[in-house]
Amino acid sequence: MIGGHEYIGIEKEEIDTPALLIDIDLLEKNIKTVADFYRGKKGSALRPHQKGHRSPMIAKKQIDAGAKGVAITSFELAELYINFGIKDILVTSEIYGKNKITRLCNYSKHGNITVGVDNIKNVKQLSNMALSQNTKINVALELYMGLGSAGLKKWEKKALPFVKETVNYKGINFKGIWWHQGSLGSIFNWDERKKSHFETLDKVAVLVDEITDKGIEVEILSGGHTCTWNMTPLYAGLSNVEVQAGNYVFCDWVDKLLEGNELFECALTVLTRCISRPDSKEAIFDFGMNTCSHEAGGSGGGKIKGGYTSIVGPKFKNLEGIEYEVHEREEISWVKYQHSNRDINVGDVFELIPSHADTTAKLHDKYYLLRNNKVEMIWPNYGRGLF
């Protein structure tokens, strides 16, 4: 049960812990930073990914600031967004299963949904189901970008024949191309990352020319993400390349390591209390793996070996000069520390900056939105548990 009216207007320290906080000023600053950069840029467009915050309220703030639509991996989350009136959606995954395809057909009548495809058998399935439901389904070909990526392999040679076959299916509207080059997030240096990103865009530009030369329109080109947010618009060889930046909204401490992401503020934190002091160098807090993720949200530009498989833990906000080790259990965490710049007493509250904001956000039923350390609003975490 969400409730929470009794919390409106109270001080941060009075919130029951653990709790998920959003600093409204920092959230809006992050949204404005990216929106201002894209305003007037002809080479690119912002289509923010929703996999992290999963909040239609935040999505509306992004769209109001200039985003052209949203990108979503989960189809069930896309259904929620359409129910909230957000209708321009790129689903960045392939859709299988009779029931889910039927739902896609139904919701395609109420929103401008485009789904990813990388297999002609899937295209045929979608087309047949769409025709049986008296509708059409929008699709965009996903390009393979290396290990861990879905998409059509060897697309430099295979994409054109794939597209030419796709447009022949009567239940399908071919909309364009999308890709996710996740390996770019492991390149710390901005110039080196830009070089690798532009090399991919060069290949995509060749493909686009081949497709359009056959009289086939490519409406959607969607391939940037948070680590290319301020470089994709600089590419001159294509126009209106969509950037699916997502994590910039919350910005965990790992993503902030990347050169170019230092402009973003860590707007999402977990509020926790010290509940025990076994001795002068140990403290027990009421957060754990069930309330704050401890895996890395990527490789931080190569600074964290293993990326998502690495256990790095959260960082305490505004606790400078302290050397500490965080050991998370399910419900509580044991912290060993020294050289703190402040006393740590039983009952004291602290904010934690997650190592992975995307997964931390999914652990809570609600967001407490704070301004000047007071609760201004409480938002249900509508997207939690939607797949």
**Same domain membership, residue 230 and residue 106:** yes
* Rounded Cα gap, residues 148 and 313, in angstroms: 23
Q: What's the mean pLDDT in 168-188?
A: 97
- Mean pLDDT of the residues in the chain: 95
Instruction: Assess if residue 344 is contained within a domain.
Output: yes
Domain boundary among 180, 211, 245: 245
Asked whether 296 and 304 are in contact (CB, 8 A), the reply is: yes
Residue 340 has pLDDT above 80, yes or no: no
Q: How confident is the model at residue 130 (pLDDT cuts 50, 70, 90)?
A: very high
115: in domain = yes
DSSP structure class, residue 315: E
Residue 42 has a pLDDT of: 80
List Cβ<8 Å contacts ≥24 apart for 144-147.
144/118, 144/179, 145/179, 145/180, 145/181, 145/182, 145/183, 145/200, 146/181, 146/182, 146/183
pTM equals 0.95
Q: Do 178 and 266 lie in a common domain?
A: no
pLDDT at 323: 76
The confidence band for 1, taking pLDDT boundaries of 50, 70 and 90, is very low
13, 155: one domain: no
Domain containing residue 138: 87-245
Retrieve residue 27's tokens.
């959230």
**What percent of the chain is predicted at pLDDT more than 90?**
87
Q: 279 and 197: one domain?
A: no
Question: What span, in angstroms and rounded, lies between the C-alpha atoms of 258 and 266?
Answer: 13
Position 3 scores a pLDDT of 58
Nearest to 340 by CA among 315, 318, 323, 316: 323
Tell whether 14 and 94 lie within a shared domain: no
Contacts of 364 (CB under 8 A, 6+ apart): 19, 20, 291, 381, 384
Give the length of the chain.
Answer: 387
Considering the domain architecture, whether residues 166 and 308 belong to the same structural domain is answered as: no
Q: Calculate mean pLDDT across residues 8-19.
A: 97
Residue 30 inside a domain? The answer is no
pLDDT bucket at 308, cuts 50 / 70 / 90: confident
Residue 371 resides in a domain: yes
Class of residue 181 by CB neighbours under 10 A (exposed 0-12, middle 13-18, buried 19+): buried
pLDDT confidence of residue 338: 78
131 shares its domain with 233: yes
CATH number, domain of 138, equals: 3.20.20.10
Residues 123 and 184 in one domain: yes
Tokens linked to 190: 């901005």
Q: How many whole angstroms separate alpha carbon 300 and alpha carbon 146?
A: 19
* Domain shared by 346 and 276, yes or no: yes
Determine the pLDDT at residue 341: 60
Query: Which whole number is the average pLDDT over 46-61?
Result: 98
Examine residue 337 and state whether it is found in any structural domain, yes or no: yes
Do the domain assignments include residue 63? Answer: no
Backbone region of residue 65 per phi and psi (left: phi > 0; alpha: psi in -120 to 50; beta: other values): alpha
CATH number, residue 10? 2.40.37.20
Count CB neighbours of 52 within 10 A: 27
- 65 lies in some domain: no
Q: Say yes or no: 228 and 279 in one domain.
A: no
Confidence of residue 2 (pLDDT cuts 50, 70, 90): low
What pLDDT, on the 0 to 100 scale, is given for residue 299?
A: 85
* pLDDT tens-place string over residues 190-246: 999 999 999 999 999 999 999 999 999 999 999 999 999 999 999 999 998 999 999
Per-residue model confidence as pLDDT tens digits over 276-288: 999 888 999 999 9
Residues 209 and 319 in one domain: no
Domain termination residue (choose one: 218, 245, 272): 245
Domain boundary among 245, 279, 313: 245
Domain count, the chain: 2
Q: Is 225 within the bounds of a domain?
A: yes
Contacts (Cβ under 8 Å, ≥6 apart) of 292 = 18, 270, 272, 314, 328, 352, 354, 360, 363
* Whether residue 234 is found in the same domain as residue 267: no
Give per-residue pLDDT as tens, 57-91: 999 999 999 999 999 999 999 999 999 999 999 99
pLDDT of residue 306: 86
